Homo-oligomer: A and B are copies of this chain.
């Protein structure tokens, strides 16, 4: 009954001081069984609904925010003022298709960034994000 990946997810949640509730286990199952996913609160809600799991939208937002805070997800902002959450937390870049709102991962090594300019005054670079917008 309890699948192997479900136990993995329970452990994953515990490692991040998140109680393994039914809701968080279900969302971890949807998010972390595939190697790399890009979801919004609404696309994830549709998946939850499709599985017949009852869950409030507030819980989906709470959980996405908690998963991001502990580093299980990575936030991306693109056109149309909707937040995307990325299950790939390695450093990487994206193709973005504005017609379909699809995101495709590009491994960091696939883009050679030469000659980055200096960060201003006393600032340091936290991250470099490349988005290749498709036509």
Interface of A toward B, CB cutoff 8 Å: 75, 77-83, 95, 97, 104, 106, 110-117, 119-120, 123-135
Contact = CB atoms under 8 A, between A and B. Distances in A.
Given A83-B81, A97-B123, A132 B116 contact: yes
B117 A110 contact: yes
A112 B110 contact: no
Contacts of A83: 81
A126 B134 contact: yes
Contacts of A135: 123-126
By Cβ-Cβ distance, the 10 closest A-B pairs, closest first, are A112-B114, A126-B135, A112-B115, A127-B133, A123-B134, A126-B133, A81-B81, A129-B131, A110-B117, A124-B135
Contact of A128 (B104, B124, B128, B132): B132
Nearest to A104: B120
Contacts of A113: 111-114, 130
